Amino acid sequence: MATSAQRAGAIHPAWFVFWAAFLSASIYFLLDSVGDVMSPELQDGSTTWNRIVWYVGHAVIASPILLIAPLQFMPGLRQSRPEVHRWLGRVFLGGCIVAGLLGIFLGSTLYLPGSRIPLTLLASTWVFFAAIAWQAARRRDFVNHRRFAIRAFALGGAFVWVRIINKVQGDVFSWMPTEDLQETTKEWLTLFLPIFVTELWLNWGPTAKKLFARKA
Ligand code: HEM
């Protein structure tokens, strides 16, 4: 029987490249956000209570999720230290649910009207996926647990994806007449792309491959 070290050794190199890039981007963008979180500037109409509870609460609860994610998806650790996977899993999925609920408020009240619908949908779907992943683990349905934990990660990773799109939006969307339209398009893409890529990998890709395979 293969040991966990052997199983970990079988991981595709692209896996390490992805997580190294994801972790570096997460740390970079988290450090970049510290100024925003500490800033006394509030949106018009916001109160201190509103800021501390929703905004800082969301940021503090959500941040560990990005750092825990690589550990949770590492097959070696999951198999060799199941109790660590279980505890980090509670922090990860619990964080997605609480930060997502706070994100629903933040998104639905954001000062940019065009961002409200995509952000509210994104945060609600994030909570929904994390709750299903948790319930699947409780019921020991590990196939669905894995699939929904991946989906929850893909949407939580929006913190990184949106900032990457933000870096290129001035060039990529330069043909759009206004910055507001660019912002709105960015938010819709941040909702659509993680779902599209995840489902392509988990469901649509394998189904298409099977259906388009040459008949024997
Ligand atoms: C693990 C994932 C996430 C982390 C680490 C995270 C972290 C943060 C941080 C640090 C801030 C404050 C800095 C800033 O405004 O840029 C913030 C704000 C915000 N987050 Fe998240 N977040 C995550 C996921 C999400 C998701 C999935 C949504 C979905 C809607 C969301 C919605 C928001 C909103 C609406 C704001 C306020 C933006 C503003 O006022 O300009 N976040 N988040």
Q: Which helix (H) or strand (E) holds 210?
A: helix 205-212
Give me ligand 1 centre to Cα 35, in Å. 13
The angle at the Cα of 58, spanning 46 to 73, to the nearest 5 degrees, equals 160
DSSP letters, 44-60, are TT--HHHIIIIIIHHHH
Ligand 1 atom nearest to 104, measured from its CA: 30
Tens-digit pLDDT profile for residues 180-210: 999 999 999 999 999 999 999 999 999 999 9
Query: Whose C-alpha lies nearest to ligand 1, atom 17?
Result: 59
Q: Are 202 and 163 in contact (CB under 8 A)?
A: no
pLDDT band with cut points at 50, 70 and 90 for residue 78: confident
- Ligand 1 lined by 165 (C-beta under 6 Å): no
Give me ligand 1 centre to Cα 30, in Å. 10
Number of domains present in the structure of the chain:
1
Structural domain harbouring 175? 4-212
